[in-house]
Structure 1
Amino acid sequence: MQISNIRLNMFSPAALRGLALCCMWSYLAGTSIARERNPLDADWKFRLSEKPDLLETGSDASNWQTVQLPHDWSIELPTDPKAFSAGGGGFFPTGIGWYRREFIAPEDWRDQRVGVEFDGVYENADVWINDVLLGKHPYGYTPFQYDLTPHLNFGEKNTLAVRVDNSEQPNSRWYSGSGIYRHVWLNVTEPVHIDDRKISIKTERASDKEALLAIEATVLNDTSEKKSIELVVEILDPGDHVVASATIHISVEPHNHSALVQNLAISQPHLWSLDSPKLYSARFRIVSGDRQIDALEIPFGIRTIEVSASQGFLLNGKPVLLCGANVHHDNGPLGAAAFDRAETRKVEILKAAGFNAVRTSHNPPSKAYLAACDRLGLLVVDEAFDGWAAKKNPNDYGTVFHDWWQRDLTAMIQRDRNHPSVVMWSIGNEVYERGKPEGLAIAKAMTKQIKELDSSRPITAGINGLGESGDWSQLDPLFDTLDVAGVNYELHRHEEDHRRSPSRVIMSAESYPQNAFACWNAAAKSSYVIGDFVWSGFDYLGESGIGRVFASDEEVLPHWEGSHFPWHGANCGEIDITGWRKPLSHYRNIVWDSGEKLYMAVVAPAPNKQDWQPSAWAQLPAIPSWTWPGNEGKELTVEVYSRYPIVRLYLNEKLIGEKPTSLENEFRAEFKVLYEQGTLKAVGVSNGSVKEEMLFTTAGKPTGIRLLPDRRTISADGQDLCFVAAEVIDDEGRLCPQSCALVEYQIGGNGSLAAIGSGDLSTLQTYSANPRSVFLGRAMVVIRSTEEQGPILLEASSPGLKSAKVELRSSNQ
């Protein structure tokens, strides 16, 4: 088999390696190239422009910026108090952006079907091929695709142009990002092919002995002749062994399609679970005569889901309490750019923090995010929309809701229904139509459509109250349309709800961080309460100022009042935007008994010897440190969280006190300690014996920098990332949280600096600023690989500190 040189000019080296593997697999299967899925992320031309006309599609782009997808132009720009996105959008500039990409369509594509697929563009994407407008896609979070075939110049250059209009502001209550922030693909198939959007692999029943799968597929015939073909379906186990198969004979009329349903039984299946997320694959092949003309593999998991008021949430027949986090789609310093590694890292951090579930507030996530949840074992409540027709912002999704919700909901369900991690669909969040007839009609229409596309998962929504004048029971008709009543900040009503509606299944779809114990207690005591999703798992960009703590002489303002500039993000997360877990994250882990038993933190002293004034969603500014210069002899508050019944606190080996930390004490104790330098130690005690210790030692003067990469080797594909923690330390290697040093980073070799960030959400420094200040002694440097193998060298330096170096490597292995 030969690949024309003309085709080789189209892709990056990394894409060519993937294409070669695809071709080899097809060759071994006894056919020419049956299906190509080519990444189209490299070397786009980009410019910001306010021009509303179409001149950009054919204009000279030689002087435009060259960018690599995923790309978010807003995160590259400085925040501005006058930005139209306002505090909800983090004060980041938006605007209109143009993208251009040229490629060669080889002659052997002439008889194929060629399409372009966008995983996500924010927002209002107009797409052209060779100056022909293909269509407009308003919603920024759902995938969409177009057929390029009729408009291609085969054997010649073709130009793909995309206009992204994020200028109509405000249109979001959080940071959306701007641009082609997810992957783009160029797909090539035979005219007779499998419709990958209409594949469904559903577990009808499963046990340790046997599972029954219901498989649905659709074959398209884009020719003018009737086609008789064979569809071969094979199920591969986690070790890539074929464990079940079927061959179906199909006749497809010209320019038509044929849908089929096939049941397959699997003996002794590996059930997908939180602790053992085993994945199978379904391989579909179309055979015509002695030719294989299409092939496609879909990963999936075998598992069952049940919910009931009497038994709660059951995964494979076993009860699971959902310890969940609400997580927005941004990747902190990277903005909205959905790098696969960044998405995977988010899931890794959530799992390490003890979360077993996530709600994708308030939009469909990226494919890479769900794939990571599948691989690592994290349950997902997949949410379609924030609001419905009634707008929360002047230019939000409500402007197109009635015209687009059915298409966008279908796109989400069809894309995500084969992910075993997805255990619930959510149709909305705090919608303004709740309690109104039009809201009930919308909810019924949405649930009906979802059940037609996927009947295997429960449906929920995040619903809050009707205000001071509204009776909570007026929401009963809306809750009755849902399988799970998701309540936002209203879990305290669960007992009265249960008395009124005994069969109702309830979960806390959103809760305040400080209510971790109360929500766990409700779920632990009541089978009909299946879990809690805290607002929020991570700090995030936008919704500026939520979770702020105010000094005693400041006016406490909710984040929706006034301007909180220079704050550009939300401080309500239990994990900051660099991935560092705050003390409250450890407390939640202890409350939910997810692994940790003992943790300690010290509340930062408030100015003027007064108490802090926390706003809603706020956590007191506590950090795990006993380094508080300037506070000698002053009283500090030490919090100790423990699953042991008793804790003791020592300062320089002197016992400060002993307190209970049992269930009645909500697993926490508080001590007042006069600060002096030295060692602070918390001890967990059970049955009179010391079971565990945690200690802090006062750090000395900052003298150096330490670099801690999350991985030493990354892929040389132009997409992989390495997250390097930069810490200011003393001579003994202790973190110096008092440091706000300005650190400069130099990179050499086969990598580039993708972003630099810290947990400070009120800084005016951009995420591309270099040098950049550390916050609480820490920063995060994100390195992006190139498409060349070899070493990557990172050096960090700051006046008065010993510099640090680290060597990484990019590889194709």
Structure 2
Amino acid sequence: MSLAKLFWLGSLALALQSYGQTKKLPLLREQLFDDNWRFKKDSLQGAEQPDFPDAGWRTLHLPHDWAIEDLPGQNDSTIIGPFYKYSPAQEHGGYVVGGTAWYRKQFTLPALPAGQTVAIRFDGVYMDSDVWINGRHLGNHPYGYTPFTYDLTPYLAAPGQKNVLAVRVKNEGLNSRWYAGAGIYRHVHLLMLPPIHLVKEGISITNPEAGKEKAIVQVSAAMTGGRSGTAHHILQVRLKDSTGQVVAYASQAVSISPGDTTTVIKQLTVNNPALWSPGRPYLYTTEISLLDTTNTKRSSSAADRLEIKTGIRKISINATQGLTINGEKVLLKGGCLHHDNGLLGAAAFDRAEERKVELMKAYGFNAIRTSHNPPSEKFLETCDRLGMLVIDEAFDMWVDQKHPQDYHRFFKTWWQRDLQSMILRDRNHPSIIMWSIGNEIPERADSAGLAITRQMVKEIRRLDSTRAITEAENDFWERPYKWSATDASFALLDVAGYNYMWRNYALDERRVPGRVMYGSETFPADLYHAWNQVQGLPFVIGDFVWTAMDYLGEAGIGHSTYSGNSQGRMSFPWFNAWCGDIDLIGNKKPQSYFRDVVWGRSAVEMLVHTPIPGGTKEKVSWWGWPDEVPSWTWPGMNDKNMQVRVFTRGEKVELVLNDFRVATKTVSDSTPLTATFDIPYTPGVLTAFVYDSKGNEIGVKTLALASAPQGIRLTADRTQIAADANELVYVNVDVVDNLGRIVPNANLPLKLSISGEATLAAAGSACPNCPASFQQPKLTTFRGRGLAILRANGRPGNITLQVEGEGLKTAKINIRVK
């Protein structure tokens, strides 16, 4: 590196510090640009101009979701925290309020080397955003889920002078079927690209061969020339293992003409490769460098360099073998997942994105369908690292609207750019096994819809020919067609996604031989039957429950009730969908225990139904589950019958209550994996013993009475974090008895106090119909549990969280910040 360039990079780092970085930035071509944004929610005139007075605006650090912030008017019973009974988003958007908001950011730069490009990349802004630099409009980006980049170079102020970025975001009307968030909810990056540089979106890494003895890693690298003069460089590609050792190498001299983009393809041979798989997600690093050979003092120096995590694997999907990875059959234990982060709203903090994947892995899932939009980059990086398979989905609607203000307004003009954005960003992630072009598209079988399908398939295959293409289709709720009308659409795709149509798998295979299928959405209650199809039919490669985790919006679609309609969404105060295997704060729900038995993760699980009002019958929604919990704490129910369900693959279940056998049942084929009992309630200990057909005990499950609440237990996901404003600590807040058992009927108000180097990012519970502020230092536990999320402020030191409640022993926890 030349002294001039080194001096310039050092100057740049110092200049960047001047607008608010709390630590020295690494000398990179790409820097996080998240800090010191000014924010105001309002429809302002002139806020795009650099001299607009923003003295009264709030300063914040991205990512940010304004829709989850408390609304004014908390003394109004229709407004609770961020939830408003008469919100335009209605139950679809979880009763939050959108609108228009502005973000502004000031920064200065030193003098730039000749030919340098400065650009800004937004990873995600929901939605319909406009961006200005120094009053010059850079463009509009309607879709809320795809990244976009603008070149700032022609409009920058003189070196050392103030530049002002302004972003207007509109989240107006009824524009989504679920909670979408609002604002700059993913990262922003400042790009400092040398005159001759690698094009990140132009790099494609594939595996033409991936065997245990040998693999070929093919790297297609694009690079662009400067504004004048042909450049002569060397493209160098090195593949490094997890220890940093170079295991394969290739290079080639390249000449790049001014303004041109040149693409070079190199193949690297790897002997005895470590293959990437869900069970062993081994990652190499592909290092791509442009070496400048014009330096006379040194043989070469790096003009530009990129590193990309790389997984070597071979994926095959067909109707006879199903899905295989590196020759081994894999059944997709899948869950659909929306992009929000529960109490944080849609804000895509890195730790929040990681935690979602960690929870999915911990609860037995090996696959995620990103419903119904591209996820964050950090989410995919985590899937690569942990071995989670991904179906990356592009759209929830095309030309036909699902809501009046949704993306259908922009689809015709923008679909190709947004699809390209998704594919080019994501195609090097080994975790991605399929691209999905849509979900329950109303016009999918119309001639116009089939034409769009052909265009999309052609575009995807132009950009990435290594993965299967799919679409999730349902039984034409929007059109008066027969299910067989899907044939024309599925014929254009590689794999057919069946939403709630698992009963048609075998029928369709006989009708359309060779079709590969999977349950792109299934009801939780259908798991046993749907999974039997996956295990028994080779052309059915997996099952994805709706949904893996609770999310905001589509309020209460997973409810149960004793009166009224048992289907559809629920009205205020419901705000949480309540249909997930995992609740809003990360804990298991009853259907997850049943899933453990179906998937063979547990020999026996036991749930007890909450008391059913006399003379009523429970109605469970399609996406719901009976109102049962793993608890034997039922004050006031002595001698009254309680319904107990035991899930097992065993033959016989024996219930023992306080050392007395109270019931025995054989598991019936009419109620697969389930034995149901009605037994009088007596406080104490209830135990289920499970036996196989030979009388051997194969499992035991115990539920014990919890005593009165005595204290609070705090458990952090990490006790040490980095001094970075993007860092989060998740602290479980449990109300416990004198033996440390969670008290499952404790719905208690608690007060939170935070001291040290952190602020409260969010606090709350999993209750689906208890709207409250997520940003106040208090919470009310639900079934004995709550969650506090702390956000580091970027300084080293300590964090202390204290939680107290009336009549409870106060709890404290400390987290170190380094």
Same fold at TM > 0.5: yes
1:280-328 superposed Cα distances (whole Å, 9 cap, x missing partner): 1110111121332101101120011111111101111111111100000
- Give yes or no for contact 2:114–2:195 (8 Å, CA) kept in 1: no
Residue number in structure 2 paired with 1:556: 565
- Give yes or no for contact 1:14–1:787 (8 Å, CA) kept in 2: no
Residue among 742, 745, 753 paired with 1:738 = 745
Q: How much does 1:9 deviate?
A: 4.6
Q: How much does 1:607 deviate?
A: 2.7
1:554-580 superposed Cα distances (whole Å, 9 cap, x missing partner): 2115335xx611111201111101000
Q: How much does 1:57 deviate?
A: 5.1
1:50 aligned to 2:43? yes
In 2 relative to 1, CA 286–6 (structure 1 residues): closer, same or farther, beyond 3 Å?
Answer: closer
Secondary structure of the residue aligned to 2:16 is: coil
Equivalent-residue separation in structure 1 for 2:642 and 2:615 (angstroms): 10
Secondary structure of the residue aligned to 1:388 is: coil
1:524 aligned to 2:535? yes
Equivalent-residue separation in structure 2 for 1:783 and 1:572 (angstroms): 27
Q: How much does 1:6 deviate?
A: 6.5
Superposition pairs of residues 82-93 of structure 1, within 5 angstroms: 82-93=86-97
- Give yes or no for contact 2:445–2:486 (8 Å, CA) kept in 1: yes
Residue among 765, 769, 785 paired with 1:762 = 769
Partner letter of residue 41 of structure 1?
A: D
Residue number in structure 1 paired with 2:558: 547
Equivalent-residue separation in structure 2 for 1:646 and 1:294 (angstroms): 67
1:51-97 superposed Cα distances (whole Å, 9 cap, x missing partner): 35555653122221111111000011321111111111111011111
Residue number in structure 2 paired with 1:70: 63
State the TM-score, normalized to the length of structure 2: 0.94
Residue number in structure 1 paired with 2:3: none
Equivalent-residue separation in structure 1 for 2:504 and 2:572 (angstroms): 36
1:663-706 superposed Cα distances (whole Å, 9 cap, x missing partner): 88532222212111000112233443334322111111112111
Residue number in structure 2 paired with 1:804: 811
- Give yes or no for contact 1:173–1:543 (8 Å, CA) kept in 2: yes
Q: How many residues align?
A: 792
Residue number in structure 2 paired with 1:36: 29
Equivalent-residue separation in structure 1 for 2:153 and 2:49 (angstroms): 22
In 2 relative to 1, CA 221–694 (structure 1 residues): closer, same or farther, beyond 3 Å?
Answer: same
Equivalent-residue separation in structure 1 for 2:528 and 2:632 (angstroms): 26
Q: How much does 1:4 deviate?
A: 4.6
1:153-209 superposed Cα distances (whole Å, 9 cap, x missing partner): 222221111111112x10000000000000001111211000001110011121110
Secondary structure of the residue aligned to 1:19 is: coil
Q: How much does 1:744 deviate?
A: 0.6
Residue number in structure 2 paired with 1:423: 433
> Which 10-residue stretch deviates more, 259-268 or 643-652?
643-652
> Which 10-residue stretch deviates more, 231-240 or 659-668?
659-668
Equivalent-residue separation in structure 1 for 2:258 and 2:12 (angstroms): 32
Equivalent-residue separation in structure 1 for 2:488 and 2:16 (angstroms): 55
Secondary structure of the residue aligned to 2:456 is: helix
In 2 relative to 1, CA 239–783 (structure 1 residues): closer, same or farther, beyond 3 Å?
Answer: same
Secondary structure of the residue aligned to 1:541 is: coil
Residue number in structure 1 paired with 2:161: 156
Residue number in structure 1 paired with 2:116: 112
Partner letter of residue 652 of structure 2?
A: I
Equivalent-residue separation in structure 2 for 1:659 and 1:209 (angstroms): 53
Residue among 681, 685, 698 paired with 1:679 = 685
Residue number in structure 1 paired with 2:348: 338
Equivalent-residue separation in structure 2 for 1:8 and 1:557 (angstroms): 61
- Give yes or no for contact 1:58–1:131 (8 Å, CA) kept in 2: no
Flag structure 2 segments of 5+ consecutive residues without an equivalent. 1-5, 71-81, 294-299
Partner letter of residue 651 of structure 1?
A: L
Partner letter of residue 37 of structure 2?
A: W
In 2 relative to 1, CA 5–608 (structure 1 residues): closer, same or farther, beyond 3 Å?
Answer: farther
Residue among 125, 132, 136 paired with 2:129 = 125
- Give yes or no for contact 1:646–1:662 (8 Å, CA) kept in 2: no
1:788 aligned to 2:795? yes
1:581-628 superposed Cα distances (whole Å, 9 cap, x missing partner): 1121121122122x3222211111123353321122111111111001
Secondary structure of the residue aligned to 2:258 is: coil
- Give yes or no for contact 1:81–1:565 (8 Å, CA) kept in 2: yes
Q: How much does 1:771 deviate?
A: 2.1
Equivalent-residue separation in structure 2 for 1:633 and 1:371 (angstroms): 54
Residue number in structure 2 paired with 1:776: 783
Superposition pairs of residues 274-313 of structure 1, within 5 angstroms: 274-289=278-293, 290-313=300-323
Residue number in structure 2 paired with 1:355: 365
In 2 relative to 1, CA 636–338 (structure 1 residues): closer, same or farther, beyond 3 Å?
Answer: same
Secondary structure of the residue aligned to 1:326 is: strand
Residue number in structure 2 paired with 1:492: 503
Partner letter of residue 462 of structure 1?
A: A
State the TM-score, normalized to the length of structure 1: 0.95
Secondary structure of the residue aligned to 2:595 is: helix
In 2 relative to 1, CA 431–53 (structure 1 residues): closer, same or farther, beyond 3 Å?
Answer: farther
- Give yes or no for contact 1:7–1:105 (8 Å, CA) kept in 2: no
Residue number in structure 2 paired with 1:414: 424
1:143 aligned to 2:143? no
> Which 10-residue stretch deviates more, 400-409 or 719-728?
719-728
> Which 10-residue stretch deviates more, 227-236 or 153-162?
153-162
Equivalent-residue separation in structure 1 for 2:178 and 2:446 (angstroms): 26
Partner letter of residue 610 of structure 1?
A: T
1:448-496 superposed Cα distances (whole Å, 9 cap, x missing partner): 1101100111010110113494222121110101110001011101111
In 2 relative to 1, CA 13–659 (structure 1 residues): closer, same or farther, beyond 3 Å?
Answer: farther
Residue number in structure 2 paired with 1:170: 174
Secondary structure of the residue aligned to 1:249 is: strand
Residue number in structure 2 paired with 1:26: none
Partner letter of residue 415 of structure 2?
A: W
Residue number in structure 1 paired with 2:79: none
Secondary structure of the residue aligned to 1:403 is: helix
Flag structure 1 segments of 5+ consecutive residues without an equivalent. 24-34
Residue number in structure 1 paired with 2:717: 710
Equivalent-residue separation in structure 2 for 1:13 and 1:673 (angstroms): 67
Equivalent-residue separation in structure 1 for 2:686 and 2:103 (angstroms): 56
Q: How much does 1:7 deviate?
A: 3.8
Residue number in structure 2 paired with 1:692: 699
Secondary structure of the residue aligned to 1:520 is: helix
Partner letter of residue 636 of structure 2?
A: G
In 2 relative to 1, CA 693–93 (structure 1 residues): closer, same or farther, beyond 3 Å?
Answer: same
Q: How much does 1:428 deviate?
A: 0.1
Superposition pairs of residues 590-629 of structure 1, within 5 angstroms: 590-593=597-600, 595-608=601-614, 610-629=616-635
Superposition pairs of residues 220-259 of structure 1, within 5 angstroms: 220-259=224-263
Equivalent-residue separation in structure 1 for 2:670 and 2:561 (angstroms): 30
Q: How much does 1:735 deviate?
A: 1.1
In 2 relative to 1, CA 276–6 (structure 1 residues): closer, same or farther, beyond 3 Å?
Answer: closer
Secondary structure of the residue aligned to 1:473 is: helix
Partner letter of residue 292 of structure 2?
A: S
Q: How much does 1:8 deviate?
A: 2.5
1:642 aligned to 2:648? yes
